Chain A
Amino acid sequence: DTEVTQTPKHLVMGMTNKKSLKCEQHMGHRAMYWYKQKAKKPPELMFVYSYEKLSINESVPSRFSPECPNSSLLNLHLHALQPEDSALYLCASSQRGLKNEKLLFGSGTQLSVL
């Protein structure tokens, strides 16, 4: 299995809802990432987990809560989001989180906040 799998592919939620995005990889990668991508913009780093520990938080609002239950799974819990949070949320993984490693991206979850 050589891919990063994200579920769901599409999600519509209201501003008072709580939902979660899921990301899974079975390549033995020990670094996992959440990126946010608005339409026609580049991906923006949100969080990095390295060996299941949060290593980078790019000053993301607390309504986004990441979780890494084990080395294969990464979740992003969403609560009280705003319409401007509507975007494509991308998960990625790499072997150990070093700079010269290939980041392997999933296809993303397209999130719409109403």
Chain B
Amino acid sequence: QQQVKQSPQSLIVQKGGISIINCAYENTAFDYFPWYQQFPGKGPALLIAIRPDVSEKKEGRFTISFNKSAKQFSLHIMDSQPGDSATYFCAASSNMEYGNKLVFGAGTILRVKS
């Protein structure tokens, strides 16, 4: 049962272009939505995160757009660079009584061509 659906599986973008990754969720208990970036041989690293009371959040070249009614959110990477080539995971979290339980999407492998 995939609680967070992510697309596309892979993405090739030209240097300087915009990379867009989409995610959708079903569980309305989710109320925190981070994006993680993972390079080969490394653990995931937090990129940017949003709460559902905000429709957009921007940090540098990275922007999250959030549509609460559609239960969808997306990551936009502006001016994509070869160094952005990595696997990107969207995630969702709800605070359970017992602790933070983070659920990841399937991941998107991004390749930025120079």
Contacts and interface: CB of A to CB of B under 8 A. Distances in A.
Interface in A91-106: 92, 94, 97-106
Q: How large is the interface on A (under 10, 10 to 19, 20 to 34, 35 or more residues)?
A: 20 to 34
Given A41-B106, A99-B94, A107 B100 contact: no
Given A43-B104, A99-B94, A100-B32, A55 B46 contact: no
A48 B99 contact: yes
B101 A45 contact: yes
B22 interface: no
B60 interface: no
Contacts of B79: none
Interface in B24-75: 31-32, 34, 41-46, 49, 51
B36 to A, nearest CB: 8
B73 to A, nearest CB: 15
Contacts of B95: 98-99
A42 B99 contact: no
Given A42-B89, A102-B46, A106-B43, A97 B102 contact: no
A97 B100 contact: yes
Interface in B66-114: 89, 93-96, 98-107
A71 interface: no
